[in-house]
Each structure stands twice: as structure tokens, then as C-alpha cells.
Amino acid sequence: MYYIGVDLGTSAVKLLLMEADGSIRNVVSKEYPLYFPHPGWSEQKPEDWWNAVVEGIRELVPETDREKVAGLSFGGQMHGLVMLDENDEVIRPAILWNDGRTGKETNYLNEVIGKGKLSEYTANIAFAGFTAPKILWVKENEPENFARISKIMLPKDYLAYRLTGTFCTDVSDASGMLIFDVKNKCWSEEMLKICGIRKDQVAKIYESYECVGTLKPEVAALLKLPESVRVAAGAGDNAAAAVGTGTVGDGQCNISLGTSGTIFVSSEEFCVDSNNALHAFAHADGKYHLMGCMLSAASCNKWWMDEIIGTKDYAGEQEKITKLGENHVFFLPYLMGERSPHNNPDARGTFIGMSMDTTRADMTQAVLEGVAFAIRDSFEIARSLGIPITRTKICGGGAKSPLWRKIVANVLGIPVDIMKSEEGPGLGGAMLAAVACGEYTSVEDAASHIVKIVDTVEPDPDLVKKYDEKYRKFAKIYPALKDIYSEII
């Protein structure tokens, strides 16, 4: 049988057709517009998502294989606000995760309601990208639209609703709304009241691997698929990507070196750090996870190479780096501010420690090491909560660099595994669909059969010791500069 994974991204939807054993049969990508009606705002039209998915699925599945499609599920961009009226019409364009209009509402939640209360209600504090501040913004600035709300949903859940008619969400995506009680996996009555919304306006909650329904007859005809196709609830993009990398079960870890960077740690038990430096969310495997998100990761190296030293020869520049653990230059990778663990939009990229004998290679090395040190900031918080992290997987564009993988392994002091396939949220969505159809008994079972490790970078004890010393110095720099950042932006 075949399973479709739908990766609903910000610039495009990527659809993947997976065989039962995890083999990828076909991949199709469809782009759609992104709108910026005001500086700092970011919106999309849900109808554009739907049209792209319909067109993409028709191309994805060959005519001869359509009757073999058993299930479909999602990995979706998180935090976006989609609102439908009583006629199931979209009220306004979706406000996306990277929209920055909610500064006032975010401050209200954190400072007036209070971070302590938010953490008690939801296990998290407010960030501008989360859904609750967006709801408050609409309530304050578009009261006529707020009054029309019949259903509030997340981007991928709009697709599930169009496919099945089921008003649903999953625990991992709901965790990023700031109206969801993560520990107890239910809507927070207190947060619904704070946002001024009723419980009937939010969706029924499912585990990510649970079936929410089958294709509506008219949709099955439109897609040229059987009506029997089972649709699983799916997951937020980070949780779906974690499924696709096998980051499920207690103490499993994945590091993503993309434009932004994440460290994703799965846990059997619910846990939250005292400062809410990491996001504490429900995971797509039925348990929980902690996630640290840094806003600039591989983009730091791109900035340094493209804009500062003016070269595209990334590998050539890295060949000049020969003395790991001995660099006296440090780089703080906060080019766009920082989320985890500092939650400081005013933070900025910083070089420190240069001298007359500092070389171009030293600066390049500092950039790579600075990103690894920043990942360790979040790694240390997760480990302080007693989660037994003994190794990690790594993915993303930056992970294609053997040198950067070696630096990460030695900065963290654990083995770093490289996977055979890197299909991200789309693969995770297809795996969730396979579980929903009974192809595998659990998400862990699917991961053990499908995710393959092809190489491992082992840490070197002497280099680990050197990087431990360097990290202790790195960790002192941000506190020393914290108050200066707000004065220089």
C-alpha cells in the first residue's frame, strides 16, 4: 500500500508518496504566494493551500497506483491563525507563524497575565508567532471579523477539514497555540477565557497518528483517490520532521541546521524548565518533547560567506580550518535576535576575541562553533531536567558539512548520526498515515523500520575537553552584553 505525506510549508507544499517499507515513490512540490500587507505582517490564503494540494496529489499518484493509496497525513507550518465563519468560509487571510504584528498582545500576555500563569495553563510563555496573541489582535483590531468566528484552526487542520469534514487538530500542533494545556492534552479553559473564545470554536483534539476520517466522496472524486483513504490528524512541522528522523521515544534527539536551528528532544514524561527557555510541547508519538529554536543557524554561515567575505566556496573556506578547539575568536549567532534560550529580539550577532593575528579561517571557524555553542545552550537545559540524551541525529543544509558535524559532536560530547533519507515533515506525515492505517503498531515501530542511519560522527575525548572549556567562556558573553543590545539597535 501507499501513504501520502503532505508538508504544508510557508512557501510551498511538498507532497510525498511512500511505500509501506518507507521507500519514496514520488515527490511533488507546489508553490503559492506569501503576502505582506504591512511591514512585519505575513499572510497566506488557505484556498491557495487547498488548490496546491489538490493539484499536487493528482500529479503525485500515478493512474495505476491510485487504488493502492491507503492513507494520508500532514506535517504543517505551526501557529498560523485560520478562521472560518458559520458557512465554513474563510473570514480573512491566515496570519502566519512569522508574522510580527502582535508585540502588544504578546507583552500583555507575558506581563499582565504573567509568564507564571501562562506556564501553569499551557507549559509555555507567549511569543509573537504563537496563535493566542493573533486571536487577541483580531479581537482588538478587527472586531467585526472576530464576531464572525465559528471555527479556529491551524493551517494543516484546514486541509484535514476540507478532506474529511472533521473539525480536528492534533496535540503537537495545538501545543503551539498557547491555548492548549500541554501536560493534560486538553484545551485550557483559562486561556480560552483570556482570548474571549468558546470551546465550540476550537477543534476536537487527536493524537497525531489517529484517524480523523476518510475522504468525502466529492473530494475523493476530485483527487481521483478511493473514498476509503484514511486521514490521520498529522503534526506540526517540527514534530512531523522528528518522526521522519526517528526522533521518538525517551531521550531521542535531533538537531536541525537549517536557516534557523532547532534541537528537538523527545521524552516519555512531561517536563518544563523553570524559565520556559525551551518550548514544552506534546509529541507526535503520543508522548512529549522539548524544543529549542534559534533564529539563525546555517543562515549565519551563509551571511558570513556571501555578504562578508564574498564567496560561494563554502567547502574551500572550511578546508582552511585545521585547529579545532583552539580558536580564540567567539561568535554569538544572534543575527535576527534570539528565541531559545534567551527570548531576546534585541540580541545581535557579535564577534569577540579578535587580535592582530586573527585569520579569515579563525572567523569562519568562530561562526560554525558559535552556532554549535548556541545549540548546546538549549541542550544543557534539556539535560538538566534529567532527560538521558546519549546521542543525536542531525539534518538540514548545514549538516551536509562534515566539519560542522564534527564540531557539533564534540561541542555536545555525544555521537552524531547521519540519516539515509532527509524528507522531513513529508516523510513524518506519511509515517503517521501508515500508523493510522495499521501498517505499523506505533510511531516508534514505524521509525524503527523506516529510518536508516548511514554514518556516525564520534566525539574525540581530547576535543570534547577543549570545547567544554571554550563553551564555558562562550556562556559568559551573552550575559555580559545583554543590556547593551537594546541600546545599539
What residues form the annotated binding site for substrate? Answer: 78-79
d(CA 300, CA 260): 9
Rounded to the nearest angstrom, the gap between the alpha carbon of residue 201 and the centroid of all alpha carbons in its chain is: 25
* Nearest of 139, 148, 176 to residue 84 by alpha carbon: 148
Helical axes 46-60 vs 155-164, angle rounded to 10°: 60
Helix and strand totals (H; E) in the chain: 17, 24
- Which set of grid coordinates corresponds to residue 251? 531521550
Cis peptide before 402 (omega within 30 of 0): no
Phi and psi at residue 24, to the nearest 5°: -90, 120
Report CA-CA distances (Å) from 45 to 42, 83, 94, 195, 215. 11, 11, 6, 23, 22
Contact of 246 with 472, CB cutoff 8 Å: no
For cell 550575559, name the residue. 479
Contact of 432 with 240, CB cutoff 8 Å: yes
Residue 88 annotated in active site = no
Q: Which of 48, 181, 237, 362 is catalytic?
A: 237
Terminal CA-CA length for the chain:
55
* Residues flagged as binding site: 78-79
- Which set of grid coordinates corresponds to residue 129? 508567532
Task: Judge residue 336's burial from the number of C-beta atoms within 10 Å of its C-beta, 0-12 exposed, 13-18 middle, 19 or more buried.
Answer: middle
Task: Judge residue 27's burial from the number of C-beta atoms within 10 Å of its C-beta, 0-12 exposed, 13-18 middle, 19 or more buried.
Answer: middle
d(CA 110, CA 21): 46
Catalytic residues: 237
